[in-house]
A and B are shown apart, each in its own frame.
Chain A
Amino acid sequence: MSPRLFLVACFAALALAALGAVAAGTILIDRNLPEEMAQFSHIVIVYGGGIMFLLVAIIAVLWAYLDHAVAQPLSSLTRGIQTVLYANPEHRIEVDDVHQLGGLPPAVEELVAQLGVARTRVNEAITEATTRVEEQKHQLETILRELHEGVIVCNLNHHILLYNDRALDLLHVGGQLGLNRSLFSFSNRQPILHALGRLTNRLAGQEAHPEGLTVPFICATTDGRHTLEGRMGLMLDKDGNPTGYVLSFKDKTEELAALGLRDRLLRESTEGLRGPVGNLRAAAEILVAHSDMPAEEQAPFKQVVINEANFLTTRLETLAAHYRDVITGHWPTTDIYSANLFNNLMRRLRDERQLEVVMTGIPYWLHGDSYTLVEVLDMLIHKVNQHYGATTFDLEAVGGERHIYLDVIWKGAPIPAHELDTWLDLQLEDAFGRLSIRDVLEHHKTDVWSLPHRETRAQLRLPLPPAVQQGAKRERRRMPSRPEFYDFDLFRQQPDLAEIGERPLKSLTYVVFDTETTGLQPSGGDEIISIAGVRVVNGRILTGESFERLVDPGRVIPRDSVRFHGITDDMVKDKPPIHVVLPQFRQFVDDSVLVAHNAAFDLKFLKIKEEEAGVRFDTPVLDTLLLSVFLHDYTQKHSLDFVAERFGIEVRGRHTALGDALVTAGVFLKMLDVLEARGITTLNQAVAAANSIVEVRARQAAF
């Protein structure tokens, strides 16, 4: 019952009681009036009635006052509190100023205010905690994603709760593992159950196990094609009861196969050779001990000697060939990009040995242990510096038929083989386990040697195997190449070459460059999104002296063009615009000759922006596409890919501006030799050769 209703009831009852009492009193008085006062009877009744009316009036006024000053404010308070509690925490409770609740409304107001503060704090704490959990989750996800091991978390029913991408790769699952699916859809059951059994036993046991709550396991994928090795760890709740387990694992298939192959080779080269050697020995001993034997009796023994010797030769060749293919698993080797390796080496040589080092050529991917290779090269270069006084070195990776050569080049004489051989026994300075240079070479199954290089220089050559693969990712996607682009006027406006035109091509400084653009219409609103160049000096590509910038084109990059260059809007959104980048590039070019493949295309883009950027590209330009047409007019295939292939330049880099500039530089250097053989040795002659092609194309275009 609401307070107001209760009040109404109370006062109604009070009024009734008062009325009853007065009525009863009046009637009683009236009945007992003495005879002589009977004429006052109506007066009594009138008084009684008057008192009753007065009483009801007083009670009514009292009620009205209490209802207004107590019951109504109480109701408002109640409604207000309810609103704050259930509807709007910000609601302000309002009570009429006329009330008789004393300190209650302000007290309630204070309570509500404090409640509000408490609520805000709780909410903040919750938000903070949630953010922290999110952050931790994100970090965990990052760690899991970057891990080389596959990681899977399962509950005790072997349902998958969490996994990383690497786990997908290792289990050879395309798409998703599917949370809550059974682990045993992907891996065989017994090894997992066995490992889990060992862990739960260990948990139940009294003694703490030195390995803690993890055990190693080896299992296979359900199709049996891949062997996985890793560790299982038990997950416990706060009371120490197991709730699930974590698996971290690697693919051991290849390593185990390699170990197996090595075991087999060892067995075959010991046991397998006993028989034939035994036959050989017996026959030889008999021939020697019984030299008086008649010739026809000797013949079969001689035949045995020849047969077994031949058999052993073949056997040995097979064993050696197999041995070469065995990957020695104990030495950690990975695919390495030669430019990264050289950069590490250069830092060392510059900072610690104060030597001048220049990286040249086109970088290659190779396979080895980066750390020990840097140590070895560092020491060898240090020795060359000490013994031959050379202080400037070129570092270059060269692609051979079976190996990638890491070449160190300096001015001077090559190192005599016997001297180099003594250096190989030096121990690496910072190395672990007293490793010598020879040890590192053995691990890489390689050797070093020194040769003269281009008349006055010498080189130290270290061959290494090419990168194993991670192939698909690194394989250059054969992207559609640009259509040939001609702007005939551009070529007719070659600057006055004057003095530089008569200088030998090989003595000039070049900047070989490439751009990536939003499309193929320089005059139709397409823009440069990436520009890169590399300097070529004295027949060397100065890999370290390169220019590479992404450019904000100030427009959306069309989806269609992304497949050419892989550059997205996101990648360029914080990059400088072209009028900032172009002056930087102009400075990089300085007075070098510009070289590009299909140069007219790139140059047109530069020319259009000249005014906006306040620079002029007035240096001479050579186009490897035109030179290719000039040199190899028998074919129509002059895209960079085809030209590079023709000149034997391995193209492994992605379709980036710098990657293409490096390949173009490689092509250009090879072209210089061929041009020389065709009698073209000066810049004037090269420009004339290219122009002759432009004229032919211009006439073709006129038809």
Chain B
Amino acid sequence: MAKSILVVEDEPNIVLSLQFLMKQAGFEVRVARDGEEALREVEDKAPDLILLDVMIPKRDGYDVCQTIRANPDWREIYIIMLTAKGRDVDRDKGLSLGANDYVTKPFSTRDLTEKVKHILSGAG
């Protein structure tokens, strides 16, 4: 069964690319536009990996991350934060609140795709 990825982003321009790249890599892709939608999607069916933007409407990325980590059933979900916040403190905060990785924008699409492939093959 194909691994599933949830892309949490409100910026259509980057959703376009992420969706395309992940589908190309053979993963099942769902998209959520804000924090609440993201949590609904996770509850609906837990994905293997989340690409999570920090600055999204309603509940922000930190909040989504913290909520997911508070539930032991979702411990296995690998969370990569994708964000324009590039300070050490922001990275520290993201990782402290339970993200597995932290990638700042702009990023190389190839590097990201490789990273996701590696994680999902290693984890599965």
Contact = CB atoms under 8 A, between A and B. Distances in A.
B123 interface: no
A447 B88 contact: no
B92 A463 contact: yes
**7 closest Cβ pairs, A-B complex:** A417-B63, A417-B62, A418-B63, A313-B106, A449-B93, A417-B66, A446-B89
Interface of A: 309, 312-313, 316, 320, 324, 400, 402-403, 414, 416-418, 421, 445-447, 449, 451, 461, 463
A447 B60 contact: no
B106 A416 contact: no
A398 to B, nearest CB: 12
B97 A417 contact: yes
Most interface-central of B59, B60, B92 (chain A CB within 10 A) = B92
A144 B34 CA distance: 60
Contacts of A416: 63, 66-67
B87 interface: yes
Interface in B75-110: 86-90, 92-93, 96-97, 106, 108
Q: Of B59, B60, B89, B92, which is in contact with the most chain A CB atoms at under 10 Å from its CB?
A: B89
Contacts of B66: 414, 416-417
Contacts of B59: 417-418
B89 A445 contact: yes
A334 B93 CA distance: 24
A449 B87 contact: no
A324 B86 CA distance: 10
B73 to A, nearest CB: 17
Contacts of A451: 96-97
Interface residues of B, number: 19
Contacts of B35: 418
B97 A402 contact: no
A446 B96 CA distance: 14
Contacts of B60: 417-418, 421
A313 B110 CA distance: 14
A171 B75 CA distance: 60
A461 B66 CA distance: 14
Contact of B87 (A313, A324, A417): A324
Nearest to B97: A449
11 contacts: A312-B106, A400-B92, A416-B63, A416-B67, A417-B97, A421-B63, A446-B89, A449-B96, A451-B96, A461-B96, A463-B92
Contacts of B87: 324, 445
Contacts of B67: 416
Given A313-B106, A403-B88, 15 more contacts: A402-B88, A403-B89, A416-B63, A417-B63, A421-B60, A421-B62, A421-B63, A445-B89, A446-B89, A447-B89, A449-B93, A449-B97, A461-B96, A463-B89, A463-B92
Contacts, number: 47
A320 B92 contact: no
A324 B66 CA distance: 27
Given A316-B106, A324-B87, A403-B88, A447 B93 contact: yes
Interface in B35-68: 35, 59-60, 62-63, 65-67
Interface centre among A403, A417, A418 (most CB of B within 10 A): A417
A449 B88 contact: no
B90 A447 contact: yes
Contacts of A461: 96
Nearest to B65: A417
A585 to B, nearest CB: 40
A324 B87 CA distance: 7
Given A312-B106, A416-B63, A417-B62, A320 B88 contact: no
Contacts of B106: 309, 312-313, 316
Contacts of B90: 447
A441 to B, nearest CB: 9
A417 B35 CA distance: 12
Contacts of A313: 106, 108
B86 A320 contact: yes
A362 B67 CA distance: 32
A366 B77 CA distance: 36
A417 B89 CA distance: 15
B27 to A, nearest CB: 24
A402 B90 CA distance: 12
B115 to A, nearest CB: 17
A403 B87 CA distance: 12
A418 B88 CA distance: 21
Contacts of A403: 88-89, 92
Contacts of A418: 35, 59-60, 63
Contacts of A320: 86
Contacts of A447: 89-90, 93
Nearest to A321: B86
B43 to A, nearest CB: 17
Nearest to A312: B106
A445 B65 CA distance: 22
Which of B66, B67, B86 has the largest count of A CB atoms less than 10 A from its CB? B66
B119 to A, nearest CB: 23
B86 A449 contact: no
A449 B96 CA distance: 8
B11 to A, nearest CB: 16
A449 B99 CA distance: 13
A288 to B, nearest CB: 14
Contacts of B89: 403, 445-447, 463
A247 B93 CA distance: 47
Nearest to B64: A417
Contacts of B93: 447, 449
Contacts of B62: 417, 421, 449
Contacts of B65: 417
Nearest to B94: A449
Contacts of A414: 66
B12 to A, nearest CB: 17
A425 B116 CA distance: 36
B57 to A, nearest CB: 11
A452 to B, nearest CB: 9
A300 B107 CA distance: 23
A416 B92 CA distance: 17
A313 B86 CA distance: 13
A451 B65 CA distance: 12
B85 to A, nearest CB: 9
A418 B96 CA distance: 15
B79 to A, nearest CB: 14
A210 B67 CA distance: 61
B98 to A, nearest CB: 9
A451 B63 CA distance: 12
Nearest to A444: B89
Nearest to B90: A447
A395 B60 CA distance: 28
A190 to B, nearest CB: 43
B55 to A, nearest CB: 11
